Amino acid sequence: MILFALDDAVNGAAAEPSPFVVFAEKRGYTPRSAIDNYIADCNQPDKMSDSNTPNYRRVASLKTADDFANHIERLGVELHFDRELQSGADSPLGQPYQLDGFKIGNRFCILPMEGWDGTEDGKPSELTVRRWKHFGESGAKLIWGGEAVAVRHDGRANPNQLISSDETTSELEKLRKVLVAAHEEKCGSSGDLLVGLQLTHSGRFARPNDKKKLEPRILYHHPILDRKFNIAPDHACLTDAEIDDLIGDFVKAARRAEAAGFAFVDLKHCHGYLGHEFLSATTREGRYGGAFENRTRFLRELVAGIRRDAPGLMIGVRLSAFDLLPFKMPEGPSADKRGVPEQFEGRYPHAFGGDAENPLAINLTETFRIFDLLDELNVKLVCVSAGSPYYNPHIQRPALFPPSDGYEPPEDPLVGVARQIKVTGELKARYPQLCVVGSGYTYLQDWLPNVGQFYVRTRQVDFVGLGRMVLAYHDLPLDVINGARLQTKRLCRTFSDCTTGPRNGLVSGCFPLDPFYRSHPQAETLKVLKRKQ
């Protein structure tokens, strides 16, 4: 079943031909905004105002509900919102959610956010502790995994990623306790707070020893990603026996998470990492590839092992519900830096939730099958995401400003937001018995509460998941539920410095808007790097 093709996502005239039909609006800039100030401070040209590139209207310029509604209408996307926000006892976002007898206190969720700032031996640093403390102070009552924790050394996405081991378990327990204590101090009680830990192996995107050196552990040879990331044709794939051992490592990590007091573990199946790659391993032979049953064997074995060895632990899955062709920067001297899809001839069976016959379209047939499987396995916590930050970031993480090494958005980022929200709504409607957390809301900025309230109120999602937003404005959930005016100077404007930093070997944080990171020693280093790039 094809939900929709990307070419149909927007109506209106594009600036020039592209795989997407985009509406590039050329008005609505506010004079000398925080965005302009930060760009000037980095001594960079404003790429979004270049006459040769698309000029998408900034969300900050949409001052009224009519402005926002008219802009959505011009884009031609399906995206709804409530014009009036409710607060206190009447707030849909402040309502509790019952999960197997446990009351989760409100409808905000903090998504896993890494800082590339752990110690070399996989323990939290002061920066890690600060971030988790902010998660607790946010007021959100569902903490989806805190951040990705590698189940073993070769699965680390960077040399500073946290690791689950016997040596780090007490440190992860302290991290959780910091979060809970901060929540109790800010909110009065943690009895309705649910905290999980995300478990991961980074697979083909593993960099366990050097931030700039991939040491990929792959399941199959990908016709585009191998070339894109310089993986040799004779690079060894994980064997079935090695996967069996890895399942044991995940189960051990889950047992340690339970010992550290976490209520659930998230078995990460998103964003191109190893769990996600299993789902697209259609060309792999053996017990873990080919047929859908084999491609989901890893997940089923993980659930069975955890239920056996850590029976008191709940299980969640963060899933890239759909994927598409990888994108790249245009080649040649063109000033247009909008991303374009990689060239591929014939069927493309490597995008889970994508259409093999038209890889710029979504096909949720197998996504429905994995939701059926999760329901069968009694895995009720599901967090919906999409794509990958490594090869199609505008699909996964809509942003106006790309990382310094990335392509410019080939569509108005609101189109990407609407796409994720629409898919999430369709999945929630089909599986009302599952607890569904949505992603991709940060780019909504000033209108995030209004959109989130509408979709929670109309039961098209259970929780509004916040990622990048909380790096700058961690207590936004409390402000919204309490009816306080949004602190617009703290709203994430998707500068993407939280990604540009790690891509250049630095820590991740909101360097533009968080005073702590703005004065961090690496802030000046980041500005110099951006000037050079």
Per-residue pLDDT at 431 exceeds 60: yes
Spatial distance between the Cα atoms of 268 and 49, rounded to a whole number of angstroms? 38
State the pLDDT at residue 518. 96
Give the pLDDT band of residue 89 (cuts 50, 70, 90): confident
Structure tokens at 144: 């989806």
Task: Give the count of beta carbons closer than 10 Å to the beta carbon of residue 478.
Answer: 17
Q: Residues 303, 306, 309, 313: is their CA dihedral positive or negative?
A: negative
Structure tokens at 262: 């976490």
User: Residues for the chain: how many in total?
Assistant: 533
Contacts of 126 (CB under 8 A, 6+ apart): none
**73-112: b (≥16 Cβ within 10 Å) or e:** eebebebebbeebbeeeebbbbeebebeeeebbbbbbbbb
Spatial distance between the Cα atoms of 432 and 420, rounded to a whole number of angstroms? 18
pLDDT single digits (tens) 305-364? 999 999 999 999 999 999 999 999 998 877 789 999 999 999 999 999 999 999 999 999
Backbone angles phi, psi at 362, to 5 degrees: -100, 135
For residues 471-493, give the mean pLDDT: 97
State the pLDDT at residue 54. 66
288 to each of 128, 253, 446, how far by Cα in Å? 35, 21, 44
For the chain, give the mean pLDDT: 91
Give the pLDDT band of residue 533 (cuts 50, 70, 90): confident
Spatial distance between the Cα atoms of 426 and 386, rounded to a whole number of angstroms? 14
State the pLDDT at residue 335. 72
Per-residue pLDDT at 515 exceeds 70: yes
pLDDT single digits (tens) 242-300? 999 999 999 999 999 999 999 999 999 999 999 999 999 999 999 999 999 999 999 99
Share of the chain above pLDDT 90, in %: 87
Q: Which residue has the higher pLDDT, 419 or 46?
A: 419
Give the pLDDT band of residue 470 (cuts 50, 70, 90): very high
Q: Which residue has the higher pLDDT, 515 or 46?
A: 515
Task: List the alpha helices (DSSP H) in 351-468.
Answer: 365-376, 393-396, 413-430, 448-457
- For helices 126-137 and 169-187, angle between their N-to-C axes, nearest 10 degrees: 40
In 3D space, the residue among 364, 363, 367 whose CA is nearest the CA of residue 382 turns out to be: 367
State the pLDDT at residue 383. 98
State the pLDDT at residue 258. 98
Per-residue pLDDT at 21 exceeds 80: no
The pTM assigned to this predicted structure is 0.92
Give the pLDDT band of residue 79 (cuts 50, 70, 90): very high
